[in-house]
C-alpha cells in the first residue's frame, strides 16, 4: 500500500461561495480521494486564498514537507493558482528529496458543475504515489511541470499552466528563517521612468526587470539608473515570453549586459525573484 500525505493550504480547490465570492472553506477530509492501493492522509496546514501567500506560509509548507517526507512515498500540496509559480519556485530551490512533492490546484471549486478539482487531486495523488517525478512538480490539467518553471496563463481555462522554458533548479538554498530582504520586481513599459525604478529598488535585495522579447533596456535614463543599481545589487533581466531571455541577440540586450544586468536566461520572472530572495538571505 502506497502512502501519500495531502497537505491543504486553501485556494479555489478548497473553495465555497461565501455570498461575497469564492473563499477557501473545505477541510482536506472533504477533498481526500479514495484510490485503491493508495492510503491518503490529510494535513490541514492553513486555509487562505493564495493571493495572501507570504514567506511565513512558505516556511510552514517547507517544515511540514521535511518533517513528513520520511513517513510517506510522496506528498501532495493543495494550493491556490495565483501564486503557484512563486511557491513552486521556493520549494524547488529549497527541497532536497528523491520523492515526489506535487503541487496542484483548481480553476473551479469542488462543488461547481464540471469542477476540475477532483480530477486534479486524484492525478496529483497518483503521481505522488507512483514516484516517477522526483522533486517538486505541479500536476494540473493533465500536465506535469517542474516546480521552478511554472507559468499561469489563464484564470478561466482548466488547462491553466504551462512550462516556461524547461528550467529545472539545480542549485539548492536554505529557506531563510526570517523574512530578510525582498527583491523588487518592475515591469518595463514605454511609460516607465528611471526614477520609478530607483524608488522601488530602495532597501531591496536586488531587482528583477521584466522587459520585452529576448530582453533589453531602452537608451535613456533607465540605462543610467540600472548601471548605478548594479554596483550594489543584482539586476536580473527577464521576459514574459516563453523560452526566456537572450541578451546577446540584440543591441538593446547587450546594452543591459554592459551596465551590469544579468541575463535570467531560462528563469521566469517569478523564478528569478525567488532566487534573488533566497540567495541574498543565506
Catalytic (active-site) positions:
12, 81-82, 152, 250
Contacts of 106 (CB under 8 A, 6+ apart): 11, 12, 13, 81, 115, 116, 117, 120
Candidates 161, 135, 158; CA nearest to 69 is: 135
Q: How many CB atoms lie within 10 A of CB 231?
A: 9
Residue 58 phi, psi (nearest 5): -65, -40
Give residue 138's Cα distance to chain centre: 10
Report the interhelical angle of 84-94 vs 269-279 (nearest 10°).
40
Report d(CA 61, CA 8) in Å as an integer: 10
Show the cell assigned to 13: 480547490
DSSP 129: H
Report d(CA 72, CA 3) in Å as an integer: 5
Candidates 43, 48, 82; CA nearest to 66 is: 43
- Is 183 within 8 Å of 205 (Cβ atoms)? yes
- Is 124 within 8 Å of 102 (Cβ atoms)? yes
Amino acid at each position: 500500500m502506497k502512502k501519500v500525505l495531502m497537505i491543504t493550504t486553501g485556494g479555489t480547490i478548497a473553495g465555497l461561495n461565501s455570498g461575497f465570492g469564492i473563499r477557501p472553506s473545505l477541510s482536506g477530509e472533504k477533498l481526500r480521494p479514495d484510490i485503491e492501493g493508495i492510503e491518503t492522509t490529510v494535513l490541514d496546514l492553513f486555509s487562505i486564498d493564495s493571493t495572501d501567500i507570504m514567506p511565513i506560509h512558505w516556511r510552514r509548507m517547507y517544515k511540514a514537507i521535511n518533517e513528513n517526507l520520511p513517513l510517506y512515498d510522496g506528498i501532495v500540496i493543495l494550493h491556490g493558482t495565483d501564486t503557484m509559480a512563486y511557491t513552486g519556485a521556493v520549494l524547488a530551490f529549497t527541497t532536497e528529496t528523491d520523492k515526489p512533492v506535487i503541487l496542484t490546484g483548481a480553476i473551479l471549486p469542488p462543488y461547481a458543475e464540471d469542477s476540475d478539482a477532483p480530477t486534479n487531486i486524484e492525478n496529483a495523488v497518483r503521481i505522488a504515489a507512483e514516484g516517477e517525478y522526483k522533486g517538486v512538480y505541479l500536476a494540473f490539467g493533465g500536465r506535469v511541470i517542474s516546480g521552478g518553471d511554472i507559468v499561469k496563463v489563464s484564470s478561466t481555462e482548466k488547462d491553466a499552466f504551462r512550462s516556461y522554458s524547461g528550467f529545472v533548479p539545480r542549485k539548492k538554498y536554505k529557506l531563510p528563517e526570517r523574512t530578510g530582504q525582498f527583491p523588487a520586481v518592475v515591469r518595463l513599459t514605454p511609460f516607465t521612468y528611471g526614477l520609478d525604478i530607483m524608488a522601488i529598488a530602495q532597501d531591496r535585495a536586488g531587482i528583477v526587470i521584466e522587459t520585452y522579447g529576448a530582453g533589453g533596456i531602452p537608451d535613456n535614463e533607465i540605462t543610467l539608473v540600472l548601471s548605478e543599481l548594479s554596483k550594489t545589487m543584482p539586476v536580473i533581466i527577464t521576459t514574459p515570453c516563453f523560452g526566456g531571455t537572450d541578451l546577446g541577440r540584440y543591441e538593446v540586450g547587450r546594452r543591459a549586459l554592459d551596465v551590469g544586468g544579468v541575463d535570467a536566461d531560462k528563469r521566469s520572472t517569478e523564478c528569478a525573484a525567488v532566487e534573488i530572495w533566497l540567495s541574498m538571505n543565506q
